[in-house]
Chain A
Amino acid sequence: MARPNSEAELADLIRGANAPFSVRGGNTRGLSQDGGEALETGGLSGIHLYEPGGLTLVAGAGTPIEDIDALLAEKAQRLAFEPMDHRALLGTSGTPTLGGIAAANISGPRRIQAGAARDHMLGVRFVTGAGDIVKNGGRVMKNVTGYDLVKLMAGSHGTLGVLTEISLKVQAIPETEATLILRAQDMATAITDLTRAMGTPFDVSGAAWLSGTATGGPAERRIRVEGLSGSVSYRARKLTDLLGADAVVEGADSAALWQQTRDVAPFADKPGAVWKISTRPTAAATFCDALLASGLDHSVIADWSGGLLWLLTDDTGDAGAQAIRQQVATHGGHATLVRASNNTRKSVPIFQPQPAAIEKLTAGLRAKFDPKGLFNPGLMEIPA
């Protein structure tokens, strides 16, 4: 295992390397490749700058996310994109890092209101497969100086370079939050409610529906608002008038519900494969109905007002890959296999197969940024 302690050391290592690496932060997200020496970024840790008044934080890629959360909490700030913790779902045990979140563009329920990790990344430093140290972006809120390689690196899963440092935009924690709960709605009705909620001026920051098979009880529709206390009660009241609610929970109780949603906790202790699907919210119910009609039994957690579907399927055969990707082709979007046995992962494309023209651009970028094919070979590619 390689664990460089500085950016320069990492660059030297890569310049001298001829065999592939499996690049990882805390290795909690289950994406490390079988082939290749483990290359950990844990040695590139530490918060380099924090300006609460400028809402900016700069830290090494290997910095544990819990350190960042703790520092931000001292100033009543947070990461607005609410990154998921994959450990319970995947049964992994490492320490999630900032670099892992950036490289996989990990976001949570608030993504529909506040944006994804990539929308809060202001700058990056990384080492290319040629061993060059590259910086892009910076630590300011608005920056259109040259190409936006920050976005390219976000979600590239270490295939284009090893992130060494990331600048982030952070957010003040609102005074309070409230969640409207409505139980026992069917999926189609619930999703209609959620999209209606997103179409109101009430600044909804979470809109999810958990099926009965996920909750182990009645299905549950959740709608969150955050802000100053007067405003939160005003908006919760308006939304209740509009869409109904069995209960409205506030503060820590509300936060706990969204941590559970964020981490897909209801699937953590259930066996099976887990898919993450992004599609149009209004297609979500049709999407799932069509899967049932084709014989693919599953359990659903719908987040992002239906635009994000977490599906639990039997981990047999292709774990539903063909049926799911058929629906993706029909409705638009993409499906990623987040959890499955090694056998399934070897036979099913984990990432959404891309059209030929996009594949060509992707392969071209990988060849430019990683000419020796050192980084995570096979990842984000169709299995041979």
Chain B
Amino acid sequence: MQMPVPDPKVLKNKDALVAALKQVLPDDAVISDPMETRAYECDALTAYRCPPMIAVLPSTTQEVSDVLRLCHKFGAPVVPRGAGTSLAGGALPTADSVILGVARMNAVLETNYDDRFIRVQTGMTNLSVTGAVEGDDFFYAPDPSSQLACAIAGNIAMNSGGAHCLKYGVTTNNLLGVTMVMMDGEVVEIGGPYLGSGGLDLLGLICGSEGQLGVVTEATLRILPKPEGARPVLMGFDSNEVAGACVRDIIEAGVLPVAIEFMDRPCIEATEAFAGAGYPDCEALLIVEVEGSDTEIDEQLTVIKSIAQRHNPVELRESRSAEESGRIWLGRKSAFGAMGQINDYICLDGTIPVSELPTVLRRMGELSDEFGLKVANVFHAGDGNLHPLILFNANAEGQLETCEAMGAEILKLCVEVGGCLTGEHGVGVEKRDLMSHQYAPEDLEAQLAVKDVFDPAWLLNPSKVFPLATTEPRRSA
């Protein structure tokens, strides 16, 4: 992974910057010992590591503002970090950078059930937001797989999704307002506990901007009342095509499940061996979950099961108890762990039009043969967000590179059929150089222009999202 050459001027001023940071932060919030900064050398994309020059852990918006003002003055690049669970290298440092971690900012600031919002500091984990309101039968809808660990700050930076966004939308659809600190230290309020914007939709622009436009310290989030109940049904099919057609028919029928998850044979076999969830021996498996009262669930599942029957399922199993529901979800939820046990893997995140599912799965099989690496598929089928897992051996010379090359081909395929490089993980460093496959120079220029306005000095997370060659003139200006 190519990263910019560290700026010698910034490195030379390290001691002065550390001293200045200690003026505005408690001593234990400024980490500059090379042994300790190593804790921040990577995120969940562990193949790439580089300890930052300094890491800081502010506790308030004011402290974040002070930090950014100083870094701006010293010309030091800043890499914002939530919980460090990015799969795309969104929080990967450079050697001349300051990691700004929001982990100490984890308070609930306001909860209001009548207006259905919660305002939190963004270091709170995704699951702890739901934890703060579930006693009153509310929840925060976006549910990325990493929700136990990932921070709201990172969710906003990457516009995270999850299994249930088919019904409830992704982060941007559930974000009402932010307090954000600009690179020069200015604090801005955007949106709030009301809908829409009186001017441009800057909130929508900030969500998903990968920490390149500002550091979001507080967020107002939509909370929703919990459904009365939920029930999954498991369906096995003897081909990917048939399973794909079943997904399409369910969606077209107008019954909107909260989740439609898809697993292919390699994934079913691996998870069976690992978790023993009792999945059928078949080519493709769907888990479809609906919500409501018992009678509402029955009504919806009657429609869904009758659609499934038309596609001759090899298995059609409706949960009859909480325990059975748990077993149906068990394999899906342990899929990544199961894969990790048998192999190293990289997890892709392309999205395709649902109609292209059979074509893409077939072509992926061909690429698997061509590159000699196995692919297992487990993904959110309802919205076409694929998560192919390419299995490789990290200890075998050159396999990581082969695996990455194959991943790039799969993502290009997603773009070719009308889809995109990333549905919920973000671009980070991982897919940075593929951006020119999806976007023409004018398309990228329009995005770069946005960063020019928010961060004219190009100091916030500057070596992410866009091909380095594209941003070089701006970064070195």
Contacts and interface: CB of A to CB of B under 8 A. Distances in A.
Interface of A: 51-56, 75-77, 105, 111-112, 115-116, 118-119, 128, 132-136, 138-152, 154-156, 159-160, 171-175, 192, 195-196, 198-201, 227-228, 230-231, 234-235, 278-282, 304, 307-308, 332-336, 351-352, 354-355, 357-358, 361-362, 364-365, 368-369, 380
B293 interface: yes
Given A54-B248, A280-B115, A148 B353 contact: no
Interface stretch (B53-61, B204-212, B232-240, B271-279): B204-212
15 contacts: A76-B254, A139-B418, A140-B352, A140-B384, A140-B418, A145-B427, A147-B209, A148-B207, A148-B209, A152-B202, A199-B114, A362-B199, A362-B200, A364-B453, A365-B450
Interface string B107-147: 00000111110000000000000000000011000000000
Contacts of B251: 53-55, 172
Interface size class of B (residues with CB under 8 A): 35 or more
B255 A228 contact: yes
Contacts of A192: 114
A132 B447 CA distance: 13
Contacts of B182: 357
A142 B158 contact: no
B148 interface: no
Contact of A132 (B199, B208, B445, B454): B445
Contacts of A135: 439-440, 443
B420 interface: yes
Interface centre among A116, A143, A147, A160 (most CB of B within 10 A): A147
B453 A368 contact: yes
A365 B435 contact: no
Contacts of A150: 204
B355 A351 contact: no
Nearest to B177: A332
B317 to A, nearest CB: 22
B134 to A, nearest CB: 13
A296 to B, nearest CB: 19
B300 A228 contact: yes
B197 A54 contact: no
Given A56-B353, A105-B201, A148-B204, A358 B190 contact: yes
Contacts of B138: 199
Q: Among A136, A144, A147, A155, find the residue whose CB has the most chain B CB atoms closer than 10 A.
A: A144
B446 A142 contact: no
Contact of A144 (B158, B380, B445): B158
B434 to A, nearest CB: 9
A116 B453 contact: no
B225 A201 contact: yes
B198 A335 contact: yes
B198 A352 contact: yes
A140 B351 contact: yes
A172 B440 contact: no
Contact of B199 (A141, A278, A351): A351
A88 B307 CA distance: 43
B401 interface: no
A141 B351 contact: yes
The 5 closest A-B pairs by CB, nearest first: A151-B204, A172-B254, A334-B198, A352-B198, A141-B383
Given A76-B254, A201-B226, 12 more contacts: A54-B384, A112-B195, A115-B173, A142-B161, A144-B170, A145-B431, A154-B204, A195-B116, A228-B296, A307-B115, A358-B199, A364-B453
Nearest to B245: A53
A185 to B, nearest CB: 17
Interface in B291-322: 292-293, 295-296, 299-300, 303
A326 B262 CA distance: 52
Contacts of A280: 112, 115, 193-194
A119 B295 CA distance: 30
B404 interface: no
Contact of B353 (A139, A304, A351): A139
Given A138-B418, A142-B384, A149 B450 contact: yes
A282 B440 contact: no
B422 interface: yes
Contacts of B76: none
A105 B199 CA distance: 11
A357 B186 contact: yes
Contacts of B300: 228, 231
Contacts of A77: 254
Contacts of A281: 114-115
Nearest to A167: B418
Given A152-B200, A365-B200, A231 B208 contact: no
B355 A53 contact: yes
A140 B299 contact: no
A151 B449 CA distance: 16
Contacts of B256: 171-172
B93 interface: no
A366 to B, nearest CB: 9
A369 B200 contact: no
B465 interface: yes
Contact of B421 (A136, A145, A200, A308): A145
A114 to B, nearest CB: 9
Looking at A141, A143, A145, the one whose CB has the most chain B CB atoms below 10 A away is: A145
Contacts of A380: 199-200
A134 B446 CA distance: 7
B419 interface: yes
A282 B165 CA distance: 27
Given A144-B159, A145-B422, A200-B225, A304 B439 contact: no
A53 B293 CA distance: 27
Contacts of B112: 280, 282
B424 A144 contact: yes
A149 B198 contact: no
Given A230-B296, A368-B450, A148 B354 contact: no
A354 B295 contact: no
A357 B300 CA distance: 49
A107 to B, nearest CB: 8
Contact of B419 (A105, A138, A156): A138
Contacts of A198: 116, 225
B197 A231 contact: no
A278 B198 CA distance: 9
A332 B192 contact: yes
B15 interface: no
Contact of B193 (A134, A235, A332): A332
B72 to A, nearest CB: 15
B68 to A, nearest CB: 14
Contacts of B158: 144
Q: Which of A135, A151, A174, A334 has the most CB of B within 10 A?
A: A151
Nearest to B204: A151
